[in-house]
């Protein structure tokens, strides 16, 4: 049991704070009962937090505010999608919020999903999955879906350096060639914007 807990803790600590997960993310570490007991103990110790039934997170903490922050809704959505094996991609408004391109507080995050229609309450935020054909439910990488949906929501005439810069900063350097390959079938203006985002440097 201790060995299982240690493996789980090491994996959790290997991700940044805000990472959300389910029992399935640790299925290779032992049987379900041992994993569930380990997660329950970690929850009691406040190492992790239960977000909704079956989903936990490694809570974000604000030193400035001196308190833990609300769950990262996109991380929770990804954890749910991994748990059930769905392909998902955020709606335009949700993608803009994830990228920090919108300051509007989202009361509802909507995701297209290859799974069934389903909704969850995450604090004061509603997380909604809307069933859509699998071929329309995304790319290989979640980052691709976020960027494409955000840019589509803005439209070609609003893709400026003020947009390109923050998205480039958000996207990890090692992901850039992967995103370029993953999105190469999108429409022309979209791919040109993604190409600029994935440049190491440039004036946008």
Among 34, 62, 90, give the residue marking a domain's end.
62
**pTM assigned to the model:** 0.86
Q: Whole-angstrom Cα distance, residue 52 to residue 120?
A: 8
pLDDT of residue 137: 55
Asked if 177 and 130 sit in the same domain, the reply is: yes
pLDDT of residue 109: 95
Domain-located, residue 117: yes
Number of domains the chain is built from:
2
SS (H, E, C) the chain: CHHHHHHHHHHHHCCCCCCEEEHHHHHHHCCHHHHHHHHHHHHHCCCCEEEECCEEECCCEECCCCEECCCCHHHHHHHHHHHHCCCEEECHHHHHHHCCCCCCCCCEEEEEECCCCEEEEECCEEEEEEECCHHHCCCCCHHHHHHHHHHHHHCHHHCCHHHHHHHHHHCCHHHHHHHHHHCCCCCHHHHHHHHHHCCCCCCC
pLDDT of residue 139: 86
Containing domain of residue 39, as a range? 2-62
* Local confidence pLDDT in tens for the 204 residues of the chain: 679 999 999 999 999 899 999 999 999 999 999 999 999 999 999 999 999 999 999 999 888 888 889 999 999 999 999 999 999 999 999 999 999 998 777 899 999 999 999 999 998 999 999 998 755 556 889 999 999 999 999 999 999 999 999 999 999 999 999 999 999 989 999 999 999 999 865 444
Give the list of residues 6+ apart from residue 99 with CB closer than 8 angstroms, or none: 146, 147, 150, 166, 167, 170
Asked if 190 and 109 sit in the same domain, the reply is: yes
Cα within 13 Å of Cα(136), Cβ side = 7
The candidate with the shortest Cα–Cα distance to 160, out of 124, 109, 197, is: 197
Domain-located, residue 193: yes
Asked if 134 and 181 sit in the same domain, the reply is: yes
Domain-located, residue 202: no
Domain-located, residue 19: yes
pLDDT of residue 138: 64
- Burial class of residue 204, CB neighbours in 10 A (0-12, 13-18, 19+): middle
Q: Whole-angstrom Cα distance, residue 135 to residue 56?
A: 29
Asked if 43 and 80 sit in the same domain, the reply is: no
Asked if 51 and 131 sit in the same domain, the reply is: no
Domain-located, residue 22: yes
Instruction: Tell the residue number behind the tokens 């040109």, with chain if given.
Output: 192
Asked if 97 and 184 sit in the same domain, the reply is: yes
Q: Whole-angstrom Cα distance, residue 102 to residue 91?
A: 13
């Amino acid at each position: 049991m201790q060995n299982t807990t240690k493996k789980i803790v090491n994996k959790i600590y290997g991700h940044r704070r805000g990472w959300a997960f389910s029992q399935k993310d640790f299925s290779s570490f032992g049987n379900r009962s041992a994993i569930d007991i380990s997660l329950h103990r970690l929850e009691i110790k406040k190492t992790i937090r239960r977000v909704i039934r079956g989903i936990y997170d490694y809570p974000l903490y604000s030193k400035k505010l001196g308190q833990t922050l609300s769950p990262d809704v996109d991380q929770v959505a990804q954890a749910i999608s991994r748990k059930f094996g769905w392909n998902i991609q955020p709606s335009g408004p949700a993608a803009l919020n994830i990228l920090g391109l919108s300051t509007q507080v989202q009361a509802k995050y909507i995701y297209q999903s290859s799974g069934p229609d389903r909704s969850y309450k995450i604090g004061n935020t509603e997380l909604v999955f809307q069933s859509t054909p699998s071929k329309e439910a995304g790319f290989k990488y979640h980052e691709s879906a976020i960027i494409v949906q955000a840019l589509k929501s803005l439209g070609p005439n609003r893709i400026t350096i003020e947009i390109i810069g923050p998205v480039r900063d958000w996207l990890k350097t090692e992901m850039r060639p992967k995103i370029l390959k993953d999105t190469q079938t999108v429409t022309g203006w979209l791919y040109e914007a993604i190409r600029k985002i994935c440049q190491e440097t440039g004036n946008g």
